[in-house]
Structure 1
Amino acid sequence: MESKASGRYHDLDWIKVVLMFIVFLYHCSMFFNSFEWHIKNNKINHTYIEFFSLLTGNWIMPVFFVISGIATYHALKRRNGLIFVKERLLRLGIPLILGIFLLSPLQVYIERVTNNQFKGSFLEFFPHYFDGLYLEIGGRGNFAFFGHHLWYLLMLLLFSVILLPFFLKTINKAGQKEFSIFHFLLIPIPLSAAALIVNGFVNLASWGIIFYLLLFCFGFYFFARESLREFVRKIGLFAGAMSVLGTTSYIIWVMLYGFPVDVSLSWAIFMMIRVSLVWNMIFFILYLGGKYLSFSNKILNYTSEASMPFYVLHQPIIILLGFIIYNLEWPLHVKLIFLVTIAITIIGCLHHFLIRRFNFLRILFGLKELKRENIHSEIVEIGKL
């Protein structure tokens, strides 16, 4: 499962690439479903598109935070705290700033125009982008200080800096003890507490930041253990079955009764189902990755690097394309195909022909700088096109 040459777990790299594509499809689905989002199609789909949104929306970001915790553990094993913070600021902070000041204004503008909250051109709107803090869809504030969909970068940056002293102090203990069924059953207890007690404390992608903070810590302290990978092999199929059961229960509940709003016994049961779903899905995804994706090739090398630019660009482009087609009387499936294929094409071309070839753009999108010999090979490659 581990590359002896590079010391990397290729299955985790594959998982990040696959999940990034699922995030892209999820945000495409948000344009068509009945859930609140920045821009909506003129006709809503309550069947297969909404089903896909419910199927994936619960566990995508939690898995990312677990994997980020694992990556943090391995990063701190190879570098000191100062270098780690510097890398985090460059790789996460610069794309976040790009999103806040260049990519988010257009998204807020489109939301305001399509919701009849503003009339005029984008240039007329831009000075108003700094009027108040953007806190929710449809709210009055415009300044998206968290970069809209880039809130993950902000949370990861804050978690990394805040927890760094604890991580440096405990890194020699983390990842060594055996992971057992005791941990598997015990760890969901604080997750459930976070979901039930403090889930309302700044919700992002339907989970509270305390929930994400715990998953990030668990990724560092528990999921980085070698014994967990062996445990995953044993419990993976069981976790998969529990994931199917939890997902089925969750989707049926939402379709029949909707989302519980008021705190009650039914709300608590609903949240417990969601926590169980996420916890088991994490193990099931790690199981599938370890069994089928423990290899590297040119596709992984390319897509793994492209993941950050893809993540930074995907939502602004989806929203812009949605703004172009949302009132057109095209069949829904035609709009869906158009949105997915054109967005991927635009992002792919921007990354392949621009971002990956120039160091200034690479830094803006959170990539490492190219060395001189690599720059020369890129220039030669461009000349062959």
Structure 2
Amino acid sequence: MPSRPAPAVTRRPDLDWIRVLAFFTLIVFHVGMFYGPWEWHVKSPHEVAAMAPVLMATSPWRLSLLFLVSGAATRFMADKMTVAALTKARLARLVPPLVFAVLVLVPPQTYYQVIEQAVTPVETYYPAFYLKYLSGTGHWCRVNDCLTTPTYNHMWFVSYLLAYSLGLSVLLGLAGERLRAAGTQLEARLVGWRLMALPFLALCALDMLQLRFPITHWMLHDWYNHVLSFTVFLFGFLIAKSLPLRDGFIRWRWWGLALAVPAYAVVAYYTWAYPFGAPPAPLGIRAAMRLVYAAQQWGAIVAALGFGARHLNRDGPVLRYLVQAVFPFYLVHQTITVVAGHNLAPLGLPQGLEAAILVVITFAGCFATYEIVRRVNFLRPWFGLKRLAPPVKTEAVQPQSQTQPAQA
């Protein structure tokens, strides 16, 4: 008896949920950066050294997962339009928010950063600061480096996503069908234990590059990050519609968790043993930790994709609302956190209360921004939303006079 053809996959609600939850995790992560020992734009005067191992619970895998899901979302777009239309759609969605952020959303972050960190004179009058920010004439320096403006801060993710989307358009234009066929080949190869082992080994090789090319988040000097992020972006594009691989992630979800949790324990201990600012570990230990990092990375991604496909596969009004809201959230969240964190610190609140207030302010500001933006058609493209179509005007039907005959 011939088998039935696999149903066409037009949408993956589980991937939408994963994207939303990963971005929400990122918001909390950036609140943690305000207290952690690593460098950030503004810092709490009461540093929490123990925050570093906590932040490492998601740091190795969260952004890779987001690039993977972004690649999958691009696949669903690409299969419904031409390469030219896809390119136009990605430019329309990503360029205006990137420009708006650099000109409007990021400058307040930079303003408070130079107030807290610069050792050179700082203009506290914001319009004067902003003119120097735009012209790149601020000369705001710390002991060892100076700040280049204009800058994009957290919008590096959007700029990279734009570059990868354009790169994918080139690949589709040159070898679209062969590229899609590579997804079928991946599906055939990543069966059974290979789904756990082969991508993990690939990540081990990629993560070794960080020993030579540390992450900078600058477009032209971030080789390891580009190789890793574009690879997982392309991987997401190739596997987006594969039901066998979706089912494979479901089957291996507990194994992924079993790989990620002990790997995280080792990463957390390493972060405690070699804290930020201390002499680095010997090269051999750092190389071994890249393998552990890859284990946490791939194990967490397998677990997220598997548990998401198993338990987050239902659509609904809440998901549709959050899917639209998540990009505006990403645009504004860090500015809200930086401004609120800097101004909360002088109040001397208990640290736990201050952190809770900072989380609430950040999320409340994100929701308020989205509720305003989604109602104002002019603002929507600057926050990554499509313009609303104008309402269709219908002429009222006049009741026919009883004394006039109907027109034929």
- The equivalent position to 1:283 in structure 2, one of 302, 310, 318, is 302
The 2-side partners of 1:135 and 1:232 are apart by: 48
Q: Which residue of structure 1 lines up, in the alignment, with residue 336 of structure 2?
A: 317
Q: Which residue of structure 2 lines up, in the alignment, with residue 98 of structure 1?
A: 100
AA matched with 1:33 = G
AA matched with 1:226 = L
Determine whether 1:176 maps to 2:176. no
> Is the 1:11–1:293 contact (alpha carbons within 8 Å) kept by the matching residues of 2?
yes
The alpha carbon displacement at 1:256 in A equals 2.2
The alpha carbon displacement at 1:363 in A equals 0.6
The alpha carbon displacement at 1:119 in A equals 2.6
State the number of aligned residues.
369
Determine whether 1:211 maps to 2:214. no
AA matched with 2:334 = Q
Give TM-score scaled by structure 1 length.
Answer: 0.88
The alpha carbon displacement at 1:239 in A equals 0.7
Determine whether 1:123 maps to 2:127. yes
Give secondary structure in 2 for the equivalent of 1:203: coil
The alpha carbon displacement at 1:88 in A equals 0.7
Q: Which residue of structure 2 lines up, in the alignment, with residue 307 of structure 1?
A: 326
- Deviations along 1:21-67, one digit per CA (max 9) or x if unpaired, are 110000011111111111001111233x4443121222110100111
The 2-side partners of 1:6 and 1:214 are apart by: 23
> Is the 2:53–2:271 contact (alpha carbons within 8 Å) kept by the matching residues of 1?
no
Q: Which residue of structure 1 lines up, in the alignment, with residue 64 of structure 2?
A: 62
> Is the 1:321–1:339 contact (alpha carbons within 8 Å) kept by the matching residues of 2?
yes
Determine whether 1:16 maps to 2:19. yes
- The equivalent position to 2:245 in structure 1, one of 209, 212, 228, is 228
The 1-side partners of 2:263 and 2:392 are apart by: 48
> Is the 1:99–1:150 contact (alpha carbons within 8 Å) kept by the matching residues of 2?
yes
Give TM-score scaled by structure 2 length.
Answer: 0.83
The alpha carbon displacement at 1:199 in A equals 5.8
AA matched with 1:124 = A
> Is the 1:199–1:211 contact (alpha carbons within 8 Å) kept by the matching residues of 2?
no
AA matched with 2:161 = L
- The equivalent position to 2:155 in structure 1, one of 145, 150, 153, is 150
> Is the 2:97–2:331 contact (alpha carbons within 8 Å) kept by the matching residues of 1?
yes
AA matched with 1:360 = F
CA gap 1:39/1:17 in 2 versus in 1, 3 angstroms: same
> Is the 1:131–1:141 contact (alpha carbons within 8 Å) kept by the matching residues of 2?
no
- The equivalent position to 2:33 in structure 1, one of 15, 23, 30, is 30
- The equivalent position to 2:262 in structure 1, one of 242, 245, 253, is 245
> Is the 2:211–2:287 contact (alpha carbons within 8 Å) kept by the matching residues of 1?
no
Give secondary structure in 2 for the equivalent of 1:326: helix
The 2-side partners of 1:374 and 1:269 are apart by: 63
The 2-side partners of 1:224 and 1:174 are apart by: 12
- Deviations along 1:317-348, one digit per CA (max 9) or x if unpaired, are 11011121223311101211111112221221
The alpha carbon displacement at 1:305 in A equals 0.4
The 1-side partners of 2:383 and 2:375 are apart by: 12
Determine whether 1:164 maps to 2:164. no
CA gap 1:286/1:124 in 2 versus in 1, 3 angstroms: same
The alpha carbon displacement at 1:238 in A equals 0.5
Determine whether 1:77 maps to 2:48. no
> Is the 2:31–2:359 contact (alpha carbons within 8 Å) kept by the matching residues of 1?
yes
Q: Structure 1 unaligned segments of length 5 or more: list them.
A: 376-385
- The equivalent position to 2:205 in structure 1, one of 193, 216, 229, is 193
The 2-side partners of 1:151 and 1:119 are apart by: 25
The 2-side partners of 1:133 and 1:86 are apart by: 36
- The equivalent position to 2:379 in structure 1, one of 361, 364, 371, is 361
CA gap 1:210/1:144 in 2 versus in 1, 3 angstroms: farther
Q: Structure 2 unaligned segments of length 5 or more: list them.
A: 1-6, 394-408
> Is the 1:135–1:144 contact (alpha carbons within 8 Å) kept by the matching residues of 2?
no
AA matched with 1:126 = Y
The alpha carbon displacement at 1:133 in A equals 11
Q: Which moved more, 1:280-289 or 1:225-234?
A: 225-234
The 1-side partners of 2:270 and 2:247 are apart by: 34
Which residues of 2 match residues 338-377 of structure 1 at below 5 A? 338-352=357-371, 354-373=372-391
The 2-side partners of 1:115 and 1:124 are apart by: 18
AA matched with 1:82 = A
The 2-side partners of 1:200 and 1:167 are apart by: 31
Give secondary structure in 2 for the equivalent of 1:140: coil
Q: Which residue of structure 2 lines up, in the alignment, with residue 141 of structure 1?
A: 147
Q: Which residue of structure 1 lines up, in the alignment, with residue 396 of structure 2?
A: none
> Is the 2:260–2:300 contact (alpha carbons within 8 Å) kept by the matching residues of 1?
yes
The alpha carbon displacement at 1:374 in A equals 9.5
The 2-side partners of 1:157 and 1:72 are apart by: 11
- Deviations along 1:256-314, one digit per CA (max 9) or x if unpaired, are 23368467111101111111111111110001111111101111111110001000000
Give secondary structure in 1 for the equivalent of 2:35: coil
CA gap 1:136/1:268 in 2 versus in 1, 3 angstroms: farther
Rg larger in structure:
2
Report sequence identity in percent.
25
The alpha carbon displacement at 1:202 in A equals 6.2
CA gap 1:306/1:77 in 2 versus in 1, 3 angstroms: same
Q: CA RMSD in A?
A: 2.7
The alpha carbon displacement at 1:370 in A equals 1.4
